[in-house]
Amino acid sequence: MISKLHNSDPKIYKFIEQEKKRQQEGLELIPSENYVSSAVLEAMGSILTNKYSEGFPNHRYYGGNPNIDLIELECINRAKKLFHVEHVNVQPYSGSPANFAVYNALLEPGDPITGMNLLDGGHLTHGWKVSATAKFFKSYPYHVKPNGRVDFDELWNIAKEYKPKLIWCGATAYARTIEFEKFSEIADSVNAYLIADISHISGLIVGGVHPSPVPFAHVITTTTHKTLRGPRGAMIMVTKKGIKKDPEIAQKIDKAIFPGLQGGPHNHTTAAIAVALGEAAKPAFKTYAKQIVLNAKTMAAEFTKLGITLVSGGTDNHLMLLDLSKEGSLGAQLEYAMDVAHMTANKNTIPGDLASPYYPSGLRLGTPALTTRGMKEPQMKQIARWIVDIINHIKPYRLPEDKTKRLEFMKTFKKKMDKDVFLKSVAREVMNLTSQYGTNT
């Protein structure tokens, strides 16, 4: 069947088809990515995008919203039931706006906050220096210890000295269980809000393979497109504990989103979130979440067996962080070489990285997307072996110490890799594997 898009805009159609092919042929190892179902895609691509509906259900600033109200209310109710929370706002455009809305709701400019340092696995919006969150609030980041786990002694000291009004827990490159109870003890001791950003692990929480922050946090934020396997969007949830601390907290969050920060909600996204939440409520999702973690543990064990160092020595969740400092800060080179071999991952800093975020010493890998495709332990071992073969192959290309030489070095490296016979042979093996698996649509 020739699509309407193909007829009306063949150029964009072609680019989309190319991307579809890339997603089908390649191995998606970025831990924050996933493949949505056809049902989620259908809702995302629906006519709901045509409608303005500023405001909230039954309280809109535009007419014609009876159906949008039904969709948003259904989405809210599904989220409340699935996560066991009291209030949910499903309108944030994505994770960063959701987090900024929390600041907007609960703090005054200049208030002190703390979150995990970006280089240690935290998120930009948890107070990293180049983020607006550090411009408008005073940020005192906490770190991980040499063993790769959160340094709670340091966090206690930060809490006592700076009295943060808001503490973030949750991360983007942290392979260990988030110890919500320990964070809540510290937050409660200084009467701070504890905000759990569960973007990476919300699917694992729903699937019962990671503890829930609900008894401990006041507010929870999550994107909906990572392990939760929904569309690109986000939610802000308020717990009983949050309402006990501040009975107005739910209204403050809603007002911070609209009119505080955003305009019209993306109703097509809201509908697709509702569909994804419906899928996540099914028993099969628990099996999926369990397999994500099993796959990650299997892959991590294979890397360790093959001599690769992992930050924190392994994983409890869906991701792992390869520490390639002893191999020569290979993060950027490995990301590129893997791309040539049809494997997508992302270079990442490691705790205490002496290289820069653009040329870091680590590589972040995750299993949610591969697990969606139905891959299991044997495939994880094979993929780890391919990656280690590539690491060994590119080891001679150590990052130059002299920063001014790095750009030129990468240009030459990329040209060589584009024609590299070994990488092409891995790409063929990868395509042979991926041809046996669909992409959830």
Q: How far is the CB of 92 from ligand DSN (least distance, A)?
A: 13
User: With respect to ligand DSN, which residue has the nearer C-beta, 265 or 368?
Assistant: 368
Q: Is 269 a catalytic residue?
A: no
Told to check if 221 binds ligand DSN by CB under 6 A, we report no
Told to check if 172 binds ligand DSN by CB under 6 A, we report yes
Which residue is at the shortest CB distance from ligand DSN? 32
User: With respect to ligand DSN, which residue has the nearer C-beta, 328 or 357?
Assistant: 357
Q: Is 197 a catalytic residue?
A: yes
Angle at 328 between CA 326 and CA 331, to 5 degrees: 105
Question: What span, in angstroms and rounded, lies between the C-alpha atoms of 100 and 105?
Answer: 9
Question: What span, in angstroms and rounded, lies between the C-alpha atoms of 58 and 365?
Answer: 43
Quote the tokens at residue 327. Answer: 């191999």
Q: Is 232 a catalytic residue?
A: yes
Q: Is 223 a catalytic residue?
A: yes
59 is in an annotated binding site: no
User: Catalytic: which of 13, 33, 52, 80?
Assistant: 52
Told to check if 349 binds ligand DSN by CB under 6 A, we report no
User: Catalytic: which of 28, 197, 327, 420?
Assistant: 197
User: With respect to ligand DSN, which residue has the nearer C-beta, 78 or 123?
Assistant: 123
> Collapsing DSSP states into helix, strand and coil, what is residue 374?
coil
Question: What span, in angstroms and rounded, lies between the C-alpha atoms of 29 and 341?
Answer: 13
Backbone angles phi, psi at 313, to 5 degrees: 80, 5
User: Interaction with ligand DSN in 77-96: which residues (CB under 6 A)?
Assistant: 95
143 is in an annotated binding site: no
Q: How far is the CB of 34 from ligand DSN (least distance, A)?
A: 11
Going by C-beta distance under 8 Å and a sequence separation of 6 or more, which residues neighbour residue 17? none
Dihedral of the CA atoms 289, 293, 294, 297 (nearest 10)? 170
Total H helices, total E strands in the chain = 18, 15
User: With respect to ligand DSN, which residue has the nearer C-beta, 234 or 390?
Assistant: 234
Q: Is 52 a catalytic residue?
A: yes
Cα–Cα distances (Å) from 207 to 173, 180, 344, 366, in that order, read: 20, 17, 25, 17
123 is in an annotated binding site: yes
User: With respect to ligand DSN, which residue has the nearer C-beta, 123 or 347?
Assistant: 123
Figure out which of the listed residues 26, 28, 29, 32 binds ligand DSN, where binding follows CB under 6 A.
32
CA dihedral sign, ordered 225, 102, 211, 156? positive
Q: How many CB atoms lie within 10 A of CB 287?
A: 12
Position 242: which residue type? G
User: Catalytic: which of 114, 223, 239, 269?
Assistant: 223
Select from 216, 357, 204, 353 the least CA-distant residue to 287.
204
Q: How far is the CB of 392 from ligand DSN (least distance, A)?
A: 27
User: With respect to ligand DSN, which residue has the nearer C-beta, 32 or 139?
Assistant: 32
Question: What span, in angstroms and rounded, lies between the C-alpha atoms of 33 and 29?
Answer: 8
> Collapsing DSSP states into helix, strand and coil, what is residue 8?
helix
Q: How far is the CB of 313 from ligand DSN (least distance, A)?
A: 21
Please give the size of the binding site for ligand DSN, defined by CB under 6 A. Answer: 4
Q: How far is the CB of 45 from ligand DSN (least distance, A)?
A: 23
Q: Is 240 a catalytic residue?
A: no
The three-state DSSP-derived secondary structure of 250-270 is: HHHHHHHHCCCCCCCCCHHHH
Binding site residues, as ranges? 118, 122-124
Contacts with ligand DSN, residue ranges (CB under 6 A): 32, 95, 123, 172
Binding site residues for (6S)-5,6,7,8-tetrahydrofolate, as ranges? 118, 122-124
> Active-site positions?
52, 54, 197, 223, 226, 232
